[in-house]
């Protein structure tokens, strides 16, 4: 219980977003909302339905980004790190161009990463008084995993006759999958540089879970995806790390 209150105290002190971060996050939401809302699935363009779809897309993206960045900050503070959101202009531009060129059929949701610094008052001892690649990898993995968890949440309610629920699930699966690419400053790069086997496990877990959630059932994703990830991780470690 003390650990929870300690984390809550640190989050109240260091978990807020700076004005610069908030402006960058608004820009991210607007651009990525446009990326996923560019193609509304209609054969003929109608301005009112298109704007309605665009508005809904931006709301879902805002929720997804908020969850990702809140989980990132909370978990980083757990390790004694303070993180700052770092926008990736090239990634946002590439996502925008890919959406326009493909008429919205290739939605790529990459938008940035993090700058981490230590909190000396909370990290005593030489062995803790430094940034750890493994800590950053853990933060990055849980950031992507939070998108997967949010997708699972929406998957539970896809039986309802509301297309927004399916759209929300797909958007979070896209966030989880595309941000696993091992390209700095994306989350996948932190995991890849920290531990190759861990990266393979995380990548297979997220990709397999996403495919099963989209094409199959929730039960299959919860059971089969971790099993497949463990098998592939063990085989990779046996083949390339021994």
Per-residue pLDDT of 16-61, as tens digits, reads 889 999 999 999 999 999 999 998 888 888 899 899 999 999 999 9
Residues in the chain: 242
- In this prediction, residue 222 carries a pLDDT of 92
User: In terms of Cα–Cα distance, which of 126, 143, 176, 27 is closest to 76?
Assistant: 143
pTM of the model: 0.90
Lowest mean pLDDT among 1-15, 141-155, 194-208: 1-15
What single-letter DSSP state applies at residue 104?
A: T
- In this prediction, residue 126 carries a pLDDT of 45
Contacts of residue 42, Cβ cutoff 8 Å, sequence gap at least 6 = 49, 50
Q: How far is CA 189 from CA 22, 179, 182, in A?
A: 24, 9, 4
- In this prediction, residue 127 carries a pLDDT of 45
User: What does the alpha-carbon distance between residue 126 and residue 53 come to, in Å, rounded to a whole number?
Assistant: 52
């Amino acid at each position: 219980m003390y650990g929870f209150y300690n984390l809550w105290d640190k989050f109240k002190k260091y978990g807020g977003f700076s004005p610069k971060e908030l402006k960058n996050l608004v820009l991210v939401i607007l651009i990525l909302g446009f990326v996923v809302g560019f193609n509304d699935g209609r054969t003929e363009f109608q301005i009112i339905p298109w704007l309605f779809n665009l508005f809904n897309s931006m709301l879902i993206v805002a929720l997804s980004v908020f969850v990702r960045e809140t989980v990132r900050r909370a978990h980083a503070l757990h390790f004694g790190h303070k993180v700052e959101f770092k926008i990736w202009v090239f990634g946002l531009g590439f996502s925008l161009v890919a959406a326009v060129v493909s008429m919205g059929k290739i939605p790529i949701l990459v938008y940035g990463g993090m700058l981490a610094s230590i909190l000396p008052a909370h990290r005593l001892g030489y062995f803790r008084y430094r940034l750890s690649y493994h800590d950053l990898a853990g933060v990055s993995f849980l950031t992507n995993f939070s998108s997967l968890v949010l997708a699972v949440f929406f998957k539970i309610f896809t039986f309802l006759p509301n297309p927004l629920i399916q759209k929300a699930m797909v958007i979070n699966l896209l966030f989880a999958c595309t941000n696993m690419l091992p390209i700095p400053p994306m989350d996948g790069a932190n995991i890849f540089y920290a531990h190759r086997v861990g990266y393979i496990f995380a990548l297979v877990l997220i990709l397999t879970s996403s495919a099963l959630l989209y094409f199959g059932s929730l039960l299959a994703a919860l059971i089969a995806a971790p099993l497949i990830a463990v098998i592939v991780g063990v085989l990779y470690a046996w083949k390339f790390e021994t």
